Each structure stands twice: as structure tokens, then as C-alpha cells.
Amino acid sequence: MFGIFVQKVKLIFADENLRGRILFLLGALVIFRLFAAIPIPGVDPVALKNFFSGSDFLSLLSLFSGGGLSNLSIVMLGVGPYITASIIMQLMSIMSPSIKALYTEEGEVGRQKFTQYSRMLTVPLAFVQAFGFLMLLSRQGVVVNLSLFAFLTNVTVIAAGSILLMWVGELISEFGIGNGLSVLIFAGIVSSLPANIGQVLFSYDPSQIPTYIAVVVGAIVVTAGVVVIAEGERPVPITYAKQVRGGKSFGGVSTYLPLRVNQAGVIPIIFALSILLFPQMILNFLITVQNARVVEYAQQGLTLFQNQWLYAIVYFVLVFLFTYFYTAVTFDPQSIANNLQKSGAFVPGVRPGNATAEYIGNIITRITLVGAIFLGAIAVLPLAVRAITGVSAFAIGGTALLIVVSVVLDLVRKADAQVSIREY
């Protein structure tokens, strides 16, 4: 096993194109971490520590921002505005046939226009979120002694930092390896591991040994489950019709079309987190206003979010729905059926064209059900364990582990694909 790993690494670095992509990815991540270490002016370190202590919401928000929120860096919003813009655009693709046609029927040019609209929508969302979050921090005394000019400057810097990360993520997707959005969040999670491990070691308590063992076993089980589901496939048999040209016969080959159990990857988790975190950010802002009625409603809303069982149910439903939603947006059975028909291929026992599209669509619906249930269960399992045991670290660790494992699998899969192309 180790020998195969070493051989793969040698092949990866022997490929000039793949080596360049890996170096570009590493360079982009270094730039991201440098920006995440630059705080905005006027931060009170003591107030910041008190503000973050014991808050699951802020810990999840920091995780979602790629780790830039914990020290109020210039990229504290992370890729949140871009994710929100992507969700809005994909929801609009359901309501607007023209936007859906842009994404599904106009090929690569249409998808580029769709992405460009998402980028344009990110700009106002970044400014709105920067203004709201900075206003919340000012009211909590975390950011102090800001004049109007300094406040507006900070809003501009924070929004620009988010837009810059969006651009870096796009560059990683184009010139690096993997999905740039997921890789940036992955980098933020991994960068916090040394501090978390050190905190556990320094606060070691012999009476908590069963808890530590349970955490390790749970991490192994979750990792194994994510790997099995992520690598699981449903092969659909495909046969190419035999053709005779110039006295020579072509085709007649049988192969299969691999349909993944989880077509959406880690994107449903990211989408679900963004939907859950945004209302909490608004409620945390409203709780600081002067209107007593608004404050009362905001407190009731926050109390509702603090109900761990309700939160877990909503989280599970969102992950489940977003898995189906993202699969439906990115996977088009009709397009696959048309491509098979044009290339002279067919599914044995199924008519080409619409019948093939319906057949593939039914398979995707069934296997996505398994993937969606598993993804939702793994996402909410740490919350359920936290509600039973009272250990707050579980609520964050499970989501982080899920994202890390999924992103690593995606990176390994794409590196393997590049190596296979080179070998052939």
C-alpha cells in the first residue's frame, strides 16, 4: 500500500502540468492564510475573546469563513457572500426558465454567464453583510473608536476581502485542483487543527478518557462512512452499436456509465450552513437595537435556534433537500441520453432518447436518496451526540471532519484523473 502511494506521488510530480497545478494551489492557500492573519483596525482583543467564548454560532461562522473571523481579519466574511449569491442564482434557475436554459442548455458559454451573474450578485451581498456584521461588532464593543470614515473604510475593506477570496477560489478551480470554494474552507479548518490539538493536550483530564476514545472512534467511523458513500457508484451498462465502414466493423463494445451515490459532494453541507447561519447573524444584530419589541422577537428567534433538536432536524432537512437540489441542477439525464444517442450507444433493454433519460433519472433519484440520508445523518450526528453528552466540541468537529474528508477525496480523485491521463 505504501509503495503504491509513493509511486503515485512520483507520477504526480513527474507530470509538469499537474505539478504546476499543485504549486499554484499551494501558493493560493499561502496568500489566503496571509490575508486571514491581517486584522481590521480598532479590534479590542479582550472583548473579541469574550465575544467568541462559548458561542457555537460564532465558532461555526468562523469555520464557514475559512478561519478568518476568529481574529477579525480583512477576509472575515470568507466566501459566504459568494455562496449566498450562488444559492440565489440556483433558486432563480428553478423559477426562471431562461436562467435554467442558460445553465443547462447553452453549454460552457452559458455556464460562464451564469457564474458571472453570481459574481456580480456577490458584490452587493458582500457590502451588506460587511456592514451588518461590523455594526454588530461595534455595538458589542469588539470594534471601538471608529469614526464614520473609518467605519465605512472597514466595510469596504471587509467586502473587498470577500470579493478577493471569491476571485482566488475561481483561480484555484481553473488553474489549481478541486473546487476552489471548498478548498478555501478546507484550508481554514486545517489551519485551526494545531491550536485545537494543543488545547486538548493542555486541558487533559484523565476522567475524560472515555470521551476522548469516543471522539476518536466516531471520527474513524465518520471518515470511513464518508469515503464509502463518496466512492460508491451505480454502474449503468452501456453498449455501442456495431457499425461497418469500408469493410471494417466498429463498435459492439460493452461498458458502463458510473453514477455516483453522492453527486453533490460537500456542497449541500456548505449551502445548509449558509442558510442556517445567515438568520442567526441577522438576529444577533437585531438584539442590539433600541426597540424593545424587536429585541424581544430577536431573543425568541435566538432561543429557537438554541434548541439543539429543532436545529438538528432543520439542518438534516436542509442538507437532504440541497443534495437533491444540487444534483438536479448539475446532473442532466436528458443531456446524457442525447450524448449517448449521438455516439451510437444505448442502454440494453431501454429505448434511446427520452426513455433512456427517464431510466437514468430514476436511478439517480434512488441512489441520491441514499446519499442524501447519509449526508444529512452524518451532518447532524455530532449535534445529537452533543445534546446527549453536553460536550460542545462535537457540534463543530463533525461538520469540519465531513468537509475535510470530502475535499481530500475530491482532490485525490482529480489528481488520480490527471495521472491516468498522463499514463494513457
Please give the DSSP secondary-structure letter assigned to residue 289: S
Contacts of 380 (CB under 8 A, 6+ apart): 312, 313, 315, 316, 319
In angstroms, what CA-CA distances link 92 with 88, 89, 100, 131, 210? 6, 5, 8, 25, 49
Q: What torsion do the CA atoms of 307, 275, 370, 188 make, to the nearest 10 degrees? A: -100
The reply to whether 16-204 and 206-424 are identical in fold is: yes
pTM: 0.73
Alpha-carbon distance of 268 to 400, in angstroms, equals 14
pLDDT, residue 202, reads 64
| Contacts with 328 (C-beta within 8 Å, 6 or more apart), sequence order | none
* CATH class of the region 206-424: mainly alpha
- pLDDT digit string (tens) for the chain, length 424 residues: 555 556 666 766 677 777 888 888 889 888 888 888 888 877 776 777 676 665 555 666 666 666 667 777 888 888 878 888 887 887 787 777 777 777 666 667 777 888 888 889 999 988 988 887 787 777 777 777 778 888 888 889 989 988 998 898 888 888 888 788 888 888 877 777 766 666 666 665 666 677 777 777 777 877 787 778 877 888 888 887 766 565 565 556 778 888 888 887 777 877 787 777 777 777 776 776 777 787 787 777 777 777 777 877 888 888 898 888 888 877 888 888 888 888 778 888 888 888 888 888 899 988 989 888 888 887 777 777 666 655 555 555 556 777 777 788 778 777 777 777 666 5
Handedness of CA 79, 85, 89, 95 (dihedral sign): positive
Q: Are 23 and 131 in contact (CB under 8 A)?
A: no
CA angle centred on 324, ends 176 and 96, rounded to 5°: 90
DSSP per residue over 307-347, as a string? Answer: -HHHHHHHHHHHHHHHHHHHHHHH--HHHHHHHHHHTTEE-
Domain ranges in the chain are 16-204, 206-424
* CATH, range 16-204: 1.10.3370.10
Q: What angle, 0 to 180 degrees and rounded to 10, lies between the N-to-C axes of helices 354-389 and 267-286?
A: 50
Residue 206's pLDDT is what? 67
Helices (H), 176-266: 180-191, 193-202, 209-231
